[in-house]
Amino acid sequence: MAAEAEKADIIVHTADCDHEASVKAIIAGLGRKPGDSKSYLIHTSGSGILSWQDFETKVYGAKSEKVYNDWDGIKEVTSLPDTALHRNVDKIVLAAGEQYKGKVHTAIVCPPCIYGLGRGPDNQHSVQAYRLASATLKRGKGFQVGEGVNIWTQIHVQDLSNVFLALVEAALSPNGGKATWNEEGYYFAENGDFQWGDISRGIAKAAKEKGLIESADIDNISPEEADKLAPSGSYLWGTNSRCRSIRANKLFGWTPKQKTLPELLPRIVEVEAEREGLIKTHAEKAAGLG
């Protein structure tokens, strides 16, 4: 068992889910390794891939009833339209197992809206909810795209990291352990749904309570206005992306344990206010600068 684990090369790719050249280079390198050693590539995608219909219809802020899952709905997930975000790279990763049969084994981890403090030394700052909080503070008032009833799925970054850990442990085990790889190696990671309008109201409420804005009311804005507040703002806050992470639970017993996004909104507002210099950081207060 130990000897087999030593033979396996394991790469966890989290750098850029849309960079074709890097994924092609990684797969080619693994596929050309001499001998019969197995290689495992764990690639990070993103559940923006599920928002493809909103882009096609150009409808933002409206609710979608469509929910994808990675178990009995796996074939639908791995055959989404080529126009979907991240799909170009997903296809390359999904094809690698057939291209280098028996040598390269792949898994795609597809997280939705990530939030929470990361445990690593590098980037600890997520995107969607944090940029919404930042834009609210800069604008001086909360907002939602359209009616704000569009739905996304959420995951705390620490819960997400445990999916990667489970896959690495599986790759270190004989024959890839309990994990499924290649055409069935697709893993969502989520802790339930939320409506973006509720997040907008939660951010405005927290900002008002902290004295950072004057009112907890929010405006309805157009997709074009959202794009002016942040790059791709209409996508970040106006689309739907709904999924269920069945595979990691069935295979590894994975379940999310951290607080939900709505529960952490006051801290997210505080983090963005600190970044904008609107309030002192904890370190500054401890140093007597507050």
pLDDT value of position 282: 55
- Per-residue pLDDT at 286 exceeds 50: no
Residue linked to tokens 């997903």: 90
Residue of 230, 155, 219, 209 whose CA lies nearest to 187? 155
- Per-residue pLDDT at 283 exceeds 60: no
Q: Are strands 193-195 and 151-156 parallel, antiparallel or unpaired?
A: antiparallel
**In this structure, are residues 41 and 93 in contact, taking their beta carbons and an 8 Å threshold?**
yes
DSSP output for 13-62 = E-S-TT-HHHHHHHHHHHHT-SSS--EEEEEE--GGGGGHHHHHHT--S-
182 dihedral zone (left: phi>0; alpha: psi -120 to 50; beta):
left
Least confident of 39-53, 106-120, 237-251: 106-120
- Per-residue pLDDT at 121 exceeds 80: no
pLDDT value of position 7: 66
Three-state secondary structure of 147-204: CCCCEEEEEEHHHHHHHHHHHHHHHCCHHHCCCCCHHHCEEECCCCEEEHHHHHHHHH
- Place 3 in a pLDDT band, splitting at 50, 70 and 90: very low
Residue-wise pLDDT tens digits, 175-227? 999 999 999 999 999 999 999 999 999 999 999 999 999 999 999 999 999 99
pLDDT value of position 4: 45
Residue-wise pLDDT tens digits, 60-91? 999 999 999 999 999 999 999 999 999 999 99
- Place 279 in a pLDDT band, splitting at 50, 70 and 90: confident
d(CA 248, CA 244): 10
**Average pLDDT over all residues of the chain:** 93
Domains for the chain: give ranges and CATH numbers. Answer: 2-275 (3.40.50.720)
d(CA 77, CA 72): 10
